[in-house]
Amino acid sequence: MAHAGICSRRKAEEFIRQGRVSVDGQVVTELGTRVDPQKSKVFFDGQQVLLADEHAYFMLNKPPGFLTTLSDPYGRPTIKDLLGHIGKRVFPVGRLDRDSEGLLLLTDDGELSNRLLHPRFKVPKTYIVTVSGHPSKNAINALEQGVEIAPGQRTKPCTVKLLGRKKRQAVFQVILSEGRKRQIRYMFRAIGYKVIRLIRTEMGPIRLGELESGKIRALTDREVQALKQAAGL
């Protein structure tokens, strides 16, 4: 199911335990059950799970104001509104919150997506972050060493570099090896500063470059291979 782009491996395990997966008409609840996709038919919630013959890989420059989801029950703008007719059913690799912008990868390659997001593979994500105020050097050092963003949740060490200062703002480059929900906003909040703009510019070897806001393009073969290499594939 992960390879087919349905969900992550962890979610697949949950769905199997819940009895939502069947093989050749028989519900399967035992994890680790072996299946030959060439001979058996796998269904999830009554829909057949099919492996793509060739995976698709895209890059989107997400504008602020769009949810990183393909549907929203409240009718709010989502990234699906920006995809156009790309001819493939793809899903986002990770998330950018509604107010954030920049590089968002989309694919139907579940294995690559899982590896890019899993902290074990340490694929770096680079952001340009504008904050209100001028954090001290000691505060930035604290960010780099790791801060508590919620009870029992401490961030891993990261890289934070000052890029410039304005009258009431400072701009930083932040490089993470993990990607928790709204992590950078919570990190700066932990040292007493508010993020007012957040742009993801790189994910592993892939750079946003000159892609215009709201536009999407297919990754080149070279970019795909570089991504796979970064993820250990």
Domains and CATH numbers, the chain: 9-48 (3.10.290.10), 57-119+210-230 (3.30.70.580), 124-203 (3.30.70.1560)
Q: How far is CA 165 from CA 126, 158, 171, in A?
A: 19, 21, 6
Alpha helices in the chain, H assignment, sequence order = 9-17, 80-83, 110-117, 137-145, 183-190, 221-230
Q: Say yes or no to pLDDT of 132 above 70.
A: yes
- The residue from 24, 45, 53, 97 that is catalytic is 97
At residue 88 the predicted structure's pLDDT band, cuts being 50, 70 and 90, is: confident
Q: What is the mean pLDDT of the chain?
A: 90
Contact 30, 57 (CB under 8 A): no
Residues above pLDDT 70, as percent of the chain? 94
What are 147-163's pLDDT values in tens digits? Answer: 999 999 999 999 999 99
pLDDT score at 37: 67
Q: Which amino acid is at 90?
A: V
Six-digit token pair at 70? 């393909």
Q: Say yes or no to pLDDT of 142 above 80.
A: yes
pLDDT score at 38: 65
Across 82-99, average pLDDT: 87
97 annotated active-site: yes
The closest of 111, 115, 94, 107 to 231, measured between CA atoms, is 115
At residue 110 the predicted structure's pLDDT band, cuts being 50, 70 and 90, is: confident
Exposed/middle/buried for residue 84 (C-beta within 10 Å: 0-12, 13-18, 19+): exposed
Contact 193, 132 (CB under 8 A): yes
Q: Say yes or no to pLDDT of 172 above 60.
A: yes
What are 178-225's pLDDT values in tens digits? Answer: 888 899 999 999 999 999 999 999 999 999 999 999 999 999 999 999
The closest of 177, 175, 159, 176 to 121, measured between CA atoms, is 177
**Distance separating alpha carbons of residues 56 and 88, to the nearest angstrom:** 7
Q: Say yes or no to pLDDT of 76 above 60.
A: yes
3-state secondary structure of 170: strand
Q: Say yes or no to pLDDT of 119 above 90.
A: no
What are 43-72's pLDDT values in tens digits? Answer: 888 877 766 557 889 999 999 999 999 889
pLDDT score at 192: 96
Contact 109, 55 (CB under 8 A): yes
At residue 226 the predicted structure's pLDDT band, cuts being 50, 70 and 90, is: very high
Helix/strand/coil percent split, the chain, to 5: 20, 30, 50
